[in-house]
Structure 1
Amino acid sequence: MSDGLIAARIKVRREALGFTQDGVTKLLGFSDRQTLSAIENGDRRVSASELVRFAEVLAAPLTYFTDPFLLAGVGRFSWRQAGVPPQKLADYEEHAGRLIALYRALGAELGRRPPLLRQALGLSKASSYEEAMVAGERFAEEFGLGPVPSRRLAEVMQDRLGILVLMVDALRGVSGAACHLPELDAVLINRQEVAGRRHYDLAHELFHILTWDAMPPDHLEDTVAAPKGRVEQLADNFAAAVLMPSSVIAPFGPWADLADDALVSRLNDTAEALGVSASALRWRLVAAGMLTKGRAKTVDENALRNNGRKPVAVEAPPLFSRPFAELVTQAVDEGLISARKVAGLLDMPLDDVVDAFAAQGVAFDPGL
């Protein structure tokens, strides 16, 4: 555990309790506030006896300050959710944080370096929706997402941008999340959502990762609330353009001259082929100038539900991701962590971890 993380957790815990530096200085028995300030800034190390005293004063177990598999003090989440009780979400955030912290800690042990430079979009809250769409189009082109961008997006995020992407069994009501750390970015997607929703959430959270410093997202985004905030609307426009660039959707046209039934059929078939929702495609066509808003409004929303297909059980992608499974497996193979410890952090039976990693094409040997 680095001194920097201990320092960050001391500061976060103090602020969470509403304690001032002066107040904690007195409780700890330091001669002046500058001592505590130096500790919180990482300029002075904390002795073992002082750390025990911090745990007492800040009413936290020692593991809160020393556990490398926590994100307390450094990780910031933004959740796409609807109606999830605050305490349940807080508990799940701790679990999700452990997945990311596991990857971060083992990566450091294995000498994996984060990207030297982070990619960022040149957008701000003052940017127009058109500028966000242009950025999405350019992203799809410059990163070579191809004729079906949804198929390659996660791969590009992981391999080209160094973003950890994890498919998870999230709480009901949670569709996805972005997490920003000083040395790592991560996106979590609820794998139980339909494919179109998963892909859209992935592109939406990518926007937040690429604009975090310029316009940090809210901790909670209500996916059913209206109207949306400006940052979320910018993210929506970027995501739609990433998944449905003009160069990709234009060849499926012309759209404007189709009869009503033919338009519905074309929307559903095209959306299914692109891994998006037909409703999202309809409004993307309007934004791209390929369909008028008036004509789009004449399309029955019910006819686009489930892309015109009969509802079927969601075919969920495998848990986690291949890079995650490969790194954890390498760490176990090299004796940096035990298989049982991994299973405990993932909150899964050991056999289920073996199966989950196998689904990613990674042979995980618990060594039992």
Structure 2
Amino acid sequence: MPSASTGIRLKALREQRGMSQEELSRLFGFDHRQTLQQIEAGQRKLSAEELVAAVQAFDVPLDYFTNPFLIVGEARFSWRRDAGTSVADLDAFERKAGEWIGAYRELGLATGEPISPIAHRLNLTRASSYEDATEAGEAVAAFLGLGDVPSQGLAQAMQEKMSILVLMVDVQTGISGAACLVRNLGAVLVNRHETPGRRNYDLAHELFHILTWDAMPPERLDDGEGSGKLQKRVEQMAEKFASAVLMPARLFEDCPGDATDPGWINTTATELGVSAKALKWRLVDLGRIDRGVALAYDDGLLVDNGGLVGRDRDVPLPFGRHFTQVVAEGIEQGYVSVRRVAALLEVTIDELGELFDAHGIERPFGM
């Protein structure tokens, strides 16, 4: 375990418990606070005796300091959740999700998976306009080459052209997904059981946060509670960006004369993998529907979340092919055991083999 990672985890634990550097220094028996500063900065390793002392003092498992996949203290998360979702449940899931992201990073580096050292960024700030955010969404859709149904290729393009990890995950109802930033790696998690329009919107929305994190860091809990005026404006910018990514203006150059026809809106929204309501408001922004007409529109005529009424939803496979391929390579090259991966993903060994099969990935040797 690199000393930098150990120091980062120790600092995170100290801050979580509300301890000062002086207090922790006394616990370790250090004569000077500078020794702890060096440890937390990764300039000095914890000795075996000091590591045992930390485990006992904070009552954490040794795995907290030795597990190479944990990203405690390194990662920043922003979660989209309903206001009623338990923060304790979210904390537990964040630790699990962080370990998946950390496993991808470490196994990717070990097996030669290219991770871009250059983070993509949008030239936007809180002072930017909604029109600027929309233009940025149009530009990103063009850069990624998303075609006539942008939602279909967005996740793969984010992975291949931006080195942003996309994970389709099983998570409790009320949590839509998250954006995560950790040491040159951006990741987006999406609740794979959400309706198609919600999944696609969340993916594009979290992409905005990944690309603007430095200038406009999002709140950890994106649930609308306690958000200040500026943060709410950032979320509205993210909505404009997401709409432009999923519904670029070029797709509506031959819009029918009556763009308010619910049959056309429903069919078009379903084809694009967005909700009909989202399409309606995108057409307002494009000047195809008058805002007053949109406000008076009977939304009961519109299907919701990008699927036809009664149609079975196509649920994506767990985790995603790219993540699963990196894990398989890690097993094949001996960097991690089958049993460790199965425990990480909370599946049996047989179920892990079936996951490789489902993604069309050859099972590692010996499975």
Q: Which range, TM-score by smaller chain?
A: over 0.9
> 1:360 corresponds to which residue?
359
**Contact in 1 for aligned 2:167/2:190 (Cα 8 Å):** yes
Q: 1:110 to 1:309 in 2, by over 3 A?
A: closer
> 1:174 corresponds to which residue?
175
> 1:270 corresponds to which residue?
268
* Residue identity opposite 2:337 in structure 1: S
**Alignment of 1:12 onto 2:15:** no
> 1:323 corresponds to which residue?
322
Q: 1:58 to 1:308 in 2, by over 3 A?
A: closer
Superposed displacement of residue 143, structure 1: 2.1
**Alignment of 1:294 onto 2:292:** yes
Q: Which among 245, 257, 262 is matched to residue 242 of structure 1?
A: 245
Please show how residues 1-368 of structure 1 align to structure 2 within 5 Å.
Answer: 1-82=1-82, 83-222=84-223, 229-251=232-254, 253-255=255-257, 257=258, 263-306=261-304, 309-365=308-364, 367-368=366-367
Superposed displacement of residue 180, structure 1: 0.6
* Residue identity opposite 1:46 in structure 2: L
Q: Secondary structure at the match of 1:178?
A: strand
Superposed displacement of residue 225, structure 1: 9.6
> CA separation in 1, counterparts of 2:91 and 2:302?
35
- Cα deviation, 1:117-141, whole Å, max 9, x if unaligned, reads 1110001111111110010011111
Q: Secondary structure at the match of 1:305?
A: coil
* Residue identity opposite 2:15 in structure 1: E
**Contact in 2 for aligned 1:81/1:223 (Cα 8 Å):** no
**Contact in 1 for aligned 2:208/2:242 (Cα 8 Å):** yes
Superposed displacement of residue 275, structure 1: 1.0
Superposed displacement of residue 91, structure 1: 1.1
Identity percentage of aligned residues: 45
- Cα deviation, 1:198-225, whole Å, max 9, x if unaligned, reads 1111000000100111111111111799
Segments of 5+ residues of structure 1 without an aligned counterpart are: none
Q: Please, which moves more after superposition, 16-25 or 329-338?
A: 329-338
Superposed displacement of residue 25, structure 1: 0.9
> CA separation in 2, counterparts of 1:309 and 1:347?
33
> CA separation in 2, counterparts of 1:91 and 1:312?
34
Q: Secondary structure at the match of 2:302?
A: helix
Segments of 5+ residues of structure 2 without an aligned counterpart are: none
> CA separation in 1, counterparts of 2:8 and 2:168?
28
Q: Secondary structure at the match of 2:163?
A: coil
Q: 1:51 to 1:224 in 2, by over 3 A?
A: closer
Aligned length: 363
> CA separation in 1, counterparts of 2:40 and 2:355?
40
- Cα deviation, 1:112-171, whole Å, max 9, x if unaligned, reads 342121110001111111110010011111221111111111111000000111111111
Q: Secondary structure at the match of 1:188?
A: strand
**Contact in 2 for aligned 1:178/1:188 (Cα 8 Å):** yes
Superposed displacement of residue 283, structure 1: 0.4
**Contact in 1 for aligned 2:275/2:307 (Cα 8 Å):** no
RMSD, aligned α-carbons: 1.9
**Contact in 2 for aligned 1:176/1:201 (Cα 8 Å):** yes
> CA separation in 2, counterparts of 1:225 and 1:273?
36
Q: Secondary structure at the match of 2:162?
A: coil
Q: 1:7 to 1:141 in 2, by over 3 A?
A: same
**Contact in 2 for aligned 1:177/1:188 (Cα 8 Å):** yes
**Contact in 2 for aligned 1:154/1:202 (Cα 8 Å):** yes
**Contact in 2 for aligned 1:264/1:299 (Cα 8 Å):** no
Superposed displacement of residue 27, structure 1: 1.4
Taking structure 2 as the reference length, the TM-score comes to 0.94
Q: 1:270 to 1:171 in 2, by over 3 A?
A: same
Superposed displacement of residue 310, structure 1: 2.0
